[in-house]
Amino acid sequence: MPQLPLVSLSGTPRERGRQHGAALSDRIADNVALYSRRLRHDAGLSEADIAERVSLYLDVFTTASPDYRATMEGIAEASGQSLADIAMLNARFEILYSAWSQLSATVDGECTGFGAPASATPDGHVWIGQNWDWFPDVRGALLTWTDDDVKVLAYTEAGIAGAKIGVNSAGIGLCVNGLGCEDDDWKRGGLPFHLRTSRILNSRSLTEAIAIASLDAPSCSANFLIGSATKGIADVESSPVGARRLTPDNGQVLVHANHFTDPEALGIVQHFRSTPVTTFHRAERLDALLNGAKLSTEHVETSLRDHEGGELAVCRHPVETKPEHLRTHTALSVLIDLEERTLRYTDGPPCESEFTTVALSEVA
């Protein structure tokens, strides 16, 4: 079965970046080529447009976190890429989503996630998980590092310093969904998505993680599904004009896809990047599957492999009749046990392989 490379990072931020860049240089080159192509051709941005956006976010990263900037410099040095191209990867969330919002583009994204409180699981552990649906040719990796005695194991796209889906030794875990609304705009220069996710993954408590997800308005909307081994599940829908927190109903599994559950509460008009709009179907379907039967690891995995609705189902496959640049698939499927600090995953659609388990305690 396909397995992701696992890279252990240690030392200064620059040294960690160099370790990331050296270990994943081929994958980073592929991702630079992928996003360069997509920003130019799919999002319709000129060289000057991209340079302007990358320059702004390089400044944002530098101001918000000199350590993040140093990590990007290390990745660039060791992978043989320019700092501008590594900054492009790290700001790709803001640049791409902002361009898509303006184009009303219609990729067949994106993700379906869940958070199961202890009352809903057979072992009384808190679980989170998701299918991360994205471009079939994106190249990923698992990273592990320790900051201030908090050890993290998480997934990233090769070349992106801030991992986004994972678990830490304090029992905090994170899954994510893309969201969209009319207020999304790269020019806001808000705290970048990938810096925010890496900070959430470094959190020591659910309260700290929620604060990082909620504060400092982002440029572009996103959903943060956060789990704590001891405090349960909290979900933060984040937009440039405000954030809204959700918790599981009556101890049930909370499911989230790619729509704000109450846009009027935030005073926003939401965009959808998928035609036909599948986010409502995927959320309702996974909710019915996970809340409609006794949970088990096997049942969750079967649910993440669900194909009801065809290619645009919970387990996503490219729609072959669509232009190639609009096709997506489930690039990563994940189930995290926050008590055990284990991450089970498939690299690619979960219907095509068995899950691999990585335990935080067993990675160097």
Smallest distance from the beta carbon of 285 to Zn ion, in angstroms? 13
Say whether residue 17 binds Zn ion (CB under 5 A): no
**Residues in 308-327 that interact with Zn ion by CB under 5 A:** 315
Peptide bond into 284 cis (omega under 30): no
Is the CB of 140 or the CB of 349 nearer to Zn ion?
Answer: 349
Q: Of 210, 203, 272, whose CA–CA distance to 244 is shortest?
A: 210
Tokens of 356: 């691999």
Say whether residue 131 binds Zn ion (CB under 5 A): no
Is the CB of 5 or the CB of 309 nearer to Zn ion?
Answer: 309
Smallest distance from the beta carbon of 317 to Zn ion, in angstroms? 6
Tokens of 214: 């909620």
**Number of neighbours of residue 150 by Cβ within 10 angstroms:** 15
Say whether residue 6 binds Zn ion (CB under 5 A): no
Q: Name residues whose C-beta falls within 8 Å of residue 262's C-beta, 6 or more positions apart in sequence.
A: 244
Is the CB of 159 or the CB of 349 nearer to Zn ion?
Answer: 349
Stretch that binds Zn ion, among 186-194, 212-220, 290-298, 343-351 (CB under 5 A): 343-351
Say whether residue 22 binds Zn ion (CB under 5 A): no
Smallest distance from the beta carbon of 81 to Zn ion, in angstroms? 33
Stretch that binds Zn ion, among 29-37, 174-182, 197-205, 351-359 (CB under 5 A): 351-359
Smallest distance from the beta carbon of 135 to Zn ion, in angstroms? 16
Q: Count CA within 13 A, CB hemisphere, residue 294.
A: 3
What's the CA gap between 174 and 273, in Å, rounded?
A: 22
Is the CB of 29 or the CB of 351 nearer to Zn ion?
Answer: 351
Q: How many residues does the structure list for the chain? A: 364
Stretch that binds Zn ion, among 53-61, 136-144, 226-234, 342-350 (CB under 5 A): 342-350
Q: Name residues whose C-beta falls within 8 Å of residue 33's C-beta, 6 or more positions apart in sequence.
A: none
Beta bridge partners of 142: 6, 155
What's the CA gap between 113 and 144, in Å, rounded?
A: 22
Tokens of 147: 């900051």
Stretch that binds Zn ion, among 71-79, 185-193, 205-213, 346-354 (CB under 5 A): 346-354
Residue 364, helix vs strand vs coil:
coil
Place of tokens 């700092």: 83
Smallest distance from the beta carbon of 302 to Zn ion, in angstroms? 11
Smallest distance from the beta carbon of 335 to Zn ion, in angstroms? 16
Phi and psi, residue 173, nearest 5°: -135, 160
Place of tokens 């959320």: 283
Is the CB of 5 or the CB of 348 nearer to Zn ion?
Answer: 348
Residue 225, helix vs strand vs coil:
strand
What's the CA gap between 108 and 309, in Å, rounded?
A: 13
Buried residues in 237-248 as b, exposed as e (16+ CB within 10 A):
bbbbeebbebeb
Is the CB of 214 or the CB of 302 nearer to Zn ion?
Answer: 302
Smallest distance from the beta carbon of 297 to Zn ion, in angstroms? 18
Smallest distance from the beta carbon of 34 to Zn ion, in angstroms? 22
Smallest distance from the beta carbon of 352 to Zn ion, in angstroms? 7
Binding residues for Zn ion, rule CB under 5 A, total 3
Mark residues 264-303: x for contact with Zn ion by CB under 5 A, - for none. Answer: ----------------------------------------
Say whether residue 349 binds Zn ion (CB under 5 A): yes
Say whether residue 351 binds Zn ion (CB under 5 A): yes
- Contact residues: Zn ion, CB under 5 A: 315, 349, 351
